[in-house]
Amino acid sequence: MNIILYSLAIILLAASYLKDKSKTKKALKKAWKSFENILPELLVIMLLIGVLLAVVDHDLISSLLGESSGWFGVILASIIGAITLIPGFVAFPTAALLLKGG
């Protein structure tokens, strides 16, 4: 699936470049600046999650936020998410990482 999405993005970028080179270059510059603004936040969150996974036992995380936690886990996850204000582009990969970790 990732290969399809990346291929589609490259094809559409090439089509945009062929249609209007200056607009495409301007859009890529804006995207790069946006990425530069987001990168420090992304790295800090990933570092914190990595340290958390290394220090805290997986069973503890699973008991607090897993399926067996019920409504308490949902409320706790909501509170943590509201406090940290993690953007979606960071939250979803982080959640996938936590799921893979158990």
Per-residue pLDDT of the chain (102 residues; tens, 9 = 90+): 789 999 999 999 999 999 999 999 999 999 999 989 888 877 887 788 778 778 887 777 777 777 777 888 788 878 877 776 667 767 777 777 767 766
Whole-angstrom distance, CA of residue 47 vs CA of residue 55: 12
Whole-angstrom distance, CA of residue 4 vs CA of residue 64: 36
Please tell me the predicted confidence (pLDDT) of residue 40. Answer: 86
Please tell me the predicted confidence (pLDDT) of residue 68. Answer: 77
Q: Residue 7: phi, psi to the nearest 5?
A: -60, -45
Please tell me the predicted confidence (pLDDT) of residue 26. Answer: 96
Reference 31, options 47, 13, 14, 6; nearest CA is 13
Whole-angstrom distance, CA of residue 94 vs CA of residue 45: 9
Please tell me the predicted confidence (pLDDT) of residue 7. Answer: 95
Please tell me the predicted confidence (pLDDT) of residue 65. Answer: 73
- Residue keyed to tokens 């992304």: 42
DSSP 69: G
